[in-house]
Amino acid sequence: MLRQRKPSLQAIAVEPKDSPVISQTLAGQPVKPGAHKIQGTGAGFVPKNLHLKDSQGNPQIAECVQVSNDDAFAMARRLAKEEGILVGISTGANVWAAIEIAKRPENKGKNIVTIACSTGERYLSTPLAAEARAQVGT
């Protein structure tokens, strides 16, 4: 649907560096999921509704960016602290990847869009919010 409206669209997947099942699948490698801390992503399999190729066999994903646990956590914290946007770890991963893609010289002046797919509310009692809890004494 999106590509019909904008044929130049490039869809880029984001996955945990420690569980790169989409990258493995795209490369034709055996899927070897790993443990990671980016909740909501990297389930250890490629879901059936993620169509890596269209009906003609054309790739639907231009690339897959792998994000470390630390980068995902740091970006989620940064969004809360600097922007006032309370997001979850998977959104931290998406935003980190979007910024890295935007830094590429070939993307200068282009629109880079990502999805904030998780709220940080469910992570307030987890290590993601430990620094904030320490600041308020809880």
Domain map (residue ranges) of the chain: 2-136
CA separation for the pair 47, 13 (Å, rounded): 13
CB-CB contact of 70 with 128 (8 Å): no
Q: Which residue has the higher pLDDT, 122 or 86?
A: 86
pLDDT bracket for residue 119 (50, 70, 90): confident
What is the 3-state composition of the chain as percent helix, strand, coil, each rounded to the nearest 5?
40, 10, 50
CB-CB contact of 25 with 73 (8 Å): no
User: So what's the pLDDT on residue 134?
Assistant: 76
User: So what's the pLDDT on residue 40?
Assistant: 82
Mean pLDDT (whole number) for 1-16: 90
User: So what's the pLDDT on residue 138?
Assistant: 62
User: Is CATH 3.40.50.1370 what the domain over 2-136 is classified as, yes or no?
Assistant: no
pLDDT bracket for residue 125 (50, 70, 90): confident
pLDDT, averaged across the chain: 90
- pTM for this entry: 0.89
Task: Please determine, for residue 17, whether its predicted confidence score (pLDDT) is greater than 70.
Answer: yes
pLDDT bracket for residue 22 (50, 70, 90): very high
Mean pLDDT (whole number) for 108-129: 86
Task: Please determine, for residue 137, whether its predicted confidence score (pLDDT) is greater than 70.
Answer: no
